Amino acid sequence: MTSYWSEFFLVALAHLVAVASPGPDFAMVLRQSITHGRRPAVWTSVGIGTGIFLHVAYSLLGIGLLVRSSVLAFNILKWLGAVYLAWIGQKALRAKPFANGAAPKATAAGGVPATPGRRAAFVTGFLTNALNPKATLFFVALFSVVINPRTPVLVQAGYGVWMALATMGWFTLVSLFFSQERVRAAFLRCGHWFERTMGVILLALGVRLALATAK
């Protein structure tokens, strides 16, 4: 078992660099933290971490190689991800002006979305991560290049569990930081412009995803 520790540290380091890099996951957690508060942001973080299990599962089964080698499969995945981010982004662009520096409350006819519940926040995080083809390429490369094919499947699965939990932990910390009242208040002083800015960022990420290639 000790022979796998060096491989594990290499996997953990590569994953740390990837998960800490700004991208759709970070943008989504930031938006949830500032706009909706701590609980939705944490559940979104749990959803993102759970999405890692999906990437690990198909990497272990070899399905990820199909996505990487098939232009059609890759394009289907990237367009689903791009459309999803664009859908979230356009909703944020339609944000109404905030009242008294606070996030707007849901109304029956005002068009302001209610604070998402646990399930909705979880699904948002899961889909944001699961539909990212760049994450697919990362995990396929990790399991085909960094991890030795002779490493037992259970050990590889253990790496996957670590990466999922580490992802949940990282984005939970991000959620806890940005959902602090002082931090939220600082962002919310910009009123609805923060939400609209996040909409632009999410749309830009969607466009970037749509233009991604498997190379």
* Per-residue pLDDT reduced to its tens digit, 146-163: 888 788 989 999 999 999
Q: In the predicted model, is pLDDT for residue 214 greater than 70?
A: no
C-alpha 103/C-alpha 124 separation (Å) is 19
Classified as helix, coil or strand, 213 is coil
| Residue 64, domain member (yes or no) | yes
Kindly report the backbone phi and psi dihedral angles of residue 99, in degrees, each rounded to the nearest multiple of 5, phi listed first: -105, 130
Of the candidate ranges 75-89, 96-110, 193-207, the one whose mean pLDDT is the lowest: 96-110
| Residue 3, domain member (yes or no) | no
Residue 67's domain spans which residues? 24-210
What number is the average pLDDT over the span 80-99?
A: 74
The number of domains in the chain is 1
| Residue 4, domain member (yes or no) | no
C-alpha 42/C-alpha 61 separation (Å) is 30
| Residue 132, domain member (yes or no) | yes
| Residue 118, domain member (yes or no) | yes
What is the structure's pLDDT at 155?
92
| Residue 191, domain member (yes or no) | yes
Q: Which residues contact 108 (CB under 8 A, 6 or more apart)?
A: none
Q: In the predicted model, is pLDDT for residue 184 greater than 50?
A: yes
User: pTM for this one?
Assistant: 0.80
Q: Which residues contact 32 (CB under 8 A, 6 or more apart)?
A: 40, 41, 44, 116, 121, 124, 175
| Residue 19, domain member (yes or no) | no
**For residues 30 and 180, is the Cβ–Cβ distance under 8 A?**
no
DSSP 116: P
Residue 5: enclosing H or E segment and its boundaries? Answer: helix 5-20
In the chain, pLDDT over 90 holds for what percent of residues?
37
| Residue 173, domain member (yes or no) | yes
